[in-house]
Structure 1
Amino acid sequence: MSDKSQDQTHTTHQNLEQAEAEGKYIRRIRSFVKREGRLTKGQAGALERNWPTMGLEYSEQQLDLAAEFGRDAARVLEIGFGMGKSLVAMAAAAPEKDFIGIEVHRPGVGACLLEAEAAGVTNLRVYEHDAVEILRDCIAPDTLDTVQVFFPDPWHKKRHHKRRLIQPELVELIRSRLAVGGVLHLATDWQNYAEHMLDVMQDAPGWRNLATDNGYIPRPEDRPLTKFEQRGERLGHGVWDLKFERIS
């Protein structure tokens, strides 16, 4: 790096630190790209009716999960639940567990709450916020039993692979929030991303692959089969599931 570049970098860091000290908002790099759509009337109504009881606000203070759900139960957290249909189905099918969903797109949050309202589920809470910040600041270490990430954006162009959600840093953060014996469940319909996920997980410390061949597992019955996935199967498209258990 040239002396001029070093001076520019140093000045930039000083400016950031000064702005933060003055309480100014600094845009940070996120683990997602915001694609805000328009809310339907149904989604907007569901948000208004259900957010007070099912919505969770981001805070730098850790969430008391037992107090929030009124019990101490197995806890499942899903990152990027999309429109929430499969998350609600899983919550409805397992009332003995507590579910937390994280999604950054408001129409998806509204759709999820509308679906939850129709299903009458009470064991589900949702965040509309960045998953990295939620895991880091709101979820206490060793408190989750399952973390699931289903069909994240594959960023299929090679130059965009660095934007993929499943990276060593996030995997390590997830491991710290799972209890020992807890499971990370990943699924994708892009083979290249599946291979990337497997490589990241195999290199990450403190995990055990639950596949008998140390590869992929058949789709578990508790992961609902989506319409998109059914269509893909008819067209001969593959889906890859991975489950890794935290062992340390």
Structure 2
Amino acid sequence: MPEPRTFRDHPVSFVRRSGRMSDGQERAWAALSPLYVHDVPRGLAATSVHPDARFDPVAVYGREAPLVVEIGSGQGHAIVHAASTRPDADFLAVEVFRAGLARTMLDADRAGARNLRLIEANAPEVLETLLPEGAADELWIFFSDPWHKNRHTKRRMVRPGFGATAGRALRDGGVLRLATDWEDYARQMRQVLDDAPELERAFDGDWAPRFDGRVMTAFERKGVERGRDIRDLAYRRVARG
């Protein structure tokens, strides 16, 4: 009999270090995770998603509403702001770093954002199997790790094949929004997504205008202060055949 597999087939876009959460983050996790965190059955790894697991937005949020999914939500600044100012929509933050999720829950609770849920998992697996096909109205990827060394670019979130992954999760006409302060990665994103038959450009010219719904974060501000240009992209899901 073959030995059971204990690893993923493809490199992931993160290195999950075992940094300890602060006492405040531990308290936030204990108090708020029952409200905000959607537990996911696991597959091979701690952040994997079992292929049979499913996320039912209507059951989770208790209503039918547009769903916005942010991949790599970090400390949650963008999605908490959006959730607290758009009560008509539902929001899902996907992140692998628990300390960031704890911070997100603290800020969401202070803002009274009850239309937000969090998933601690590898994002491509969420998009490929966990979400129902066509569930997302918008998919956000803001400032994902550029993995700028040549030997590491295979770890980038947006690499060949990602268009199909994003296209599966988006409804027809849904929008994929991206931003990065790393020019080489921006150009790779554009090439990968231009080549994806599931998607079409939702902008004119070389780059999309800055997305008004993206709140300015300390991370973005730091990139601007260092002289890096912020490049936005936006793609629309074409109608399924």
User: Structure 1 residue 88 and structure 2 residue 68: aligned?
Assistant: no
Q: What TM-score results when the alignment is normalised by the length of structure 2?
A: 0.89
Q: Residue 36 of structure 1 aligns to a residue in which SS?
A: coil
8 Å Cα contact 1:58/1:134 also seen in 2:
no
Deviates more, 1:66-75 or 1:38-47: 38-47
Equivalent positions of 1:1-248 (< 5 A) are: 18-20=2-4, 26-28=6-8, 29-31=10-12, 32-59=14-41, 60-213=52-205, 215-248=206-239
8 Å Cα contact 2:162/2:192 also seen in 1:
no
Which amino acid in the other structure matches residue 37 of structure 2? G
Aligned residue for 1:4? none
Q: How many Å separate the matches in 1 of 2:129 and 2:191?
A: 27
1:105-134 Cα distance to aligned partner (Å, 9 max, x none): 111111111111111110000011111222
Q: How far is 1:30 from its partner?
A: 4.4
Q: How far is 1:194 from its partner?
A: 0.5
Q: How many Å separate the matches in 1 of 2:157 and 2:222?
A: 25
8 Å Cα contact 2:11/2:155 also seen in 1:
no
8 Å Cα contact 2:68/2:137 also seen in 1:
yes
After superposing on structure 2, the runs of 4+ consecutive aligned residues of structure 1 that deviate more than 4 Å are none
Aligned residue for 2:48? none
8 Å Cα contact 1:151/1:187 also seen in 2:
yes
1:141-192 Cα distance to aligned partner (Å, 9 max, x none): 0111011111011011122111111013232111011100001111100011
8 Å Cα contact 2:163/2:198 also seen in 1:
no
Q: How many Å separate the matches in 1 of 2:154 and 2:56?
A: 33
Deviates more, 1:50-59 or 1:144-153: 50-59
Identity %: 37
Which amino acid in the other structure matches residue 214 of structure 2? R
Q: How many Å separate the matches in 2 of 1:132 and 1:72?
A: 24
8 Å Cα contact 2:127/2:168 also seen in 1:
no
8 Å Cα contact 1:62/1:137 also seen in 2:
yes
8 Å Cα contact 1:19/1:26 also seen in 2:
no
> Could you list the runs of 5+ residues in structure 2 that have no partner in the other structure?
42-51
Q: How many Å separate the matches in 2 of 1:56 and 1:153?
A: 24
8 Å Cα contact 1:185/1:244 also seen in 2:
yes
Q: How many Å separate the matches in 1 of 2:199 and 2:111?
A: 35
Q: Residue 172 of structure 2 aligns to a residue in which SS?
A: strand
Q: How many Å separate the matches in 2 of 1:199 and 1:145?
A: 23
Q: How many Å separate the matches in 2 of 1:140 and 1:232?
A: 35
Aligned length: 227
Q: What TM-score results when the alignment is normalised by the length of structure 1?
A: 0.87
